[in-house]
Chain A
Amino acid sequence: MKVLIVDDEPDVKDLFLQQFRKEIKSGLISTLFAYSGDEALEILASREAMDIILIMSDINMPGMSGFELLKKVKEQFPDLKVYMVSAYGDSENQEKARSFGADGFVPKPVDFELLKRNLFQQA
């Protein structure tokens, strides 16, 4: 399963790589990283994107916000699953994400155990 993670904070990459170390080793999951919405769209437009099945995007990013990215992704790739990741875990924000077509909502700080259970049950 190939996942694209979008967040403006560089340490997010390290965090996901370590958290999914075993799953990456065993080939259960592979990850791609983008630091902005624009970069994410570029990756999606490239060949690398062929087997991406999930995008996990932060909402608050400089430039294009996570919601804008969500709208664009859903327009261009309706089958692609998108999870929103945000420090604003309030129900209003979750509801907004759902109304824009998000398939999941991950509040920060991320509970990786819960996230893994969720991901691999679906897989």
Chain B
Amino acid sequence: MLRNFNTEVQNLAGTVALGVNIALKEQNFEGVQTALDFVKNNPHLRFVSLVQIDSSGGSFKKSIFKTYPENYPANVSAVSGDSIIVKSAAFSTPMMSGEILLGLSTSEITASKAQIRNTSIIVCLIVFGVGILIGFFLARNISVPVLELRDAAVKVGLGDRTQQVKSTSKDEIGQLSQAFNKMVMDLATAESERKAAQDQLIQSEKMASLGQMTAGIAHEIKNPLNFVNNFSKLSLELIEEIEAETDTQEKAELMEVLKGNLTKINHHGKRADSIVATMLQHSRGTAGTKVPCNLNQLCNEYTDLAFHGMRATTQDFNASIIKNFEENLPLVHLIPQEFSRVILNLLNNAFYAVNERKQKDLEAGKLAEQPEVKISTQKIDNQIIIRIVDNGSGIPEPIKNKIFEPFFTTKPTGKGTGLGLSLSYDIITKEHGGKMSVKSEPGKFTEFILELPL
């Protein structure tokens, strides 16, 4: 800026010198005045001097010929200072040689420099302030809602379906918040609907297995009742006979028979009671608690229930059951109503499979193998192993890893819910901390293995 000003002053001095040069050549003194007037109205002007150089006698001698303003203490050797720029421009005519000395004030420059600095500072402050305001605005309107959305999304991801974010603004962020809220609500609704549908299906699976059991239960109750009713009636007759009997030997024998009968009544009464208890346990929907159970007795009862149930509901169903229960097993901590569902389900599947294979063999004109279902219990180290093996149709390799998936079934529509094995799997692995696995060879056998920790 200062350099520009230096050049400007030099140019002005040059212009004045040129004007003076022309005027002096023409000896037009008014022209000299006009040339000097050229800078008189310049607001920065401090002085302008016409300096005469006398070069006669081989030496230069400068002297002020004329100065404007006339009272300015002009000096031929004036130079630029802090507040003034002084420039000279020479002229030379036959009449007179000399130079124009022009001094212009730099105070304006300094002032404008300060003004520029102040302005710069103010502009900077404004820009900075506006920047901060924009930052606050962005933080309030974008970052904070986005962070809230992020936190809410993380919570939703973790399973909390009650998250809602505040949305007051009408911009994209507000729309995003509203969309997020709606999505979470829809998700919660869909989940509760799915849960309700699933619960209903699980309940219907339970009811279906209860239905399969009912026929078995009728058999298992009426048979003990047959003994209870008839042996009690016989016992009454026996008592009359004993009362009438005079021979002590004969009397003692009759007493033995009576004792035997009462033992049978008691045994079959308990049997019926146990069946009813089993049925009640099975129909109870809520998960129970683990209690020490006689696993062999439980497996035995449910095998009979499943068998008689199948017998009663399937035309011409027939199978040999081979029970191989290891004696003196320790009591196993089980949720009886849940665990029994597994045994019932596996046996129903086994019976279904042997029956299906028999039908296929008969249709194919093959000599059908005798349907056979084996159930065994065994203690190995700290585990109880239960195996249920059937010589039925088997499970083809491609579907073997699908059978524990919910709703997977190979049975015709209406015959199975596809939940039996998936529920069984959950009951064994999640509720009892055990393992459930399957081995199978199509057309040969299927073996389900349950491992329960002691």
B231/A15 in contact, CB under 8 A: yes
Closest to A37 in B: B318
Considering the chains assembled together, what is the distance between the CA atoms of A77 and B227 in angstroms?
31
- With beta carbons under 8 angstroms apart, the residue of A14, A67, A108 that contacts B223 is A108
Chain B residues within 8 Å of A109, by CB: 222, 225-226, 228-230
Q: Does more than half of chain B's interface fall in helix, strand or loop, or is it mixed?
A: helix
**Smallest Cβ distance from A62 to chain B, in angstroms?**
5
**Smallest Cβ distance from B316 to chain A, in angstroms?**
7
Considering the chains assembled together, what is the distance between the CA atoms of A84 and B320 in angstroms?
21
A118 at the interface (CB under 8 A from B): no
> What is A's interface to B at a CB cutoff of 8 Å?
9, 11, 14-15, 18-19, 60, 62-65, 67-68, 87-88, 108-110, 112
Chain A residues within 8 Å of B121, by CB: none
Q: Does more than half of chain A's interface fall in helix, strand or loop, or is it mixed?
A: loop
Interface stretch (choices B102-110, B167-175, B260-268): B260-268
Chain A residues within 8 Å of B454, by CB: none
Considering the chains assembled together, what is the distance between the CA atoms of A19 and B231 in angstroms?
9
Q: How many residues of B contact A (CB 8 A)?
A: 30
Closest to A96 in B: B315
A67/B219 in contact, CB under 8 A: no
CB within 8 Å for A18 and B257 given contacts A11-B227, A63-B318, A87-B223:
yes
B307 at the interface (CB under 8 A from A): yes
Chain B residues within 8 Å of A18, by CB: 231, 234, 257, 261
B218 at the interface (CB under 8 A from A): yes
- Chain B, 309-324, CB within 8 A of any chain A CB: 311-312, 316-321
A68/B318 in contact, CB under 8 A: yes
B318/A87 in contact, CB under 8 A: no
Q: Which of A60, A68, A88 has the most CB of B within 10 A?
A: A60
B264/A14 in contact, CB under 8 A: yes
Chain A residues within 8 Å of B320, by CB: 62-63
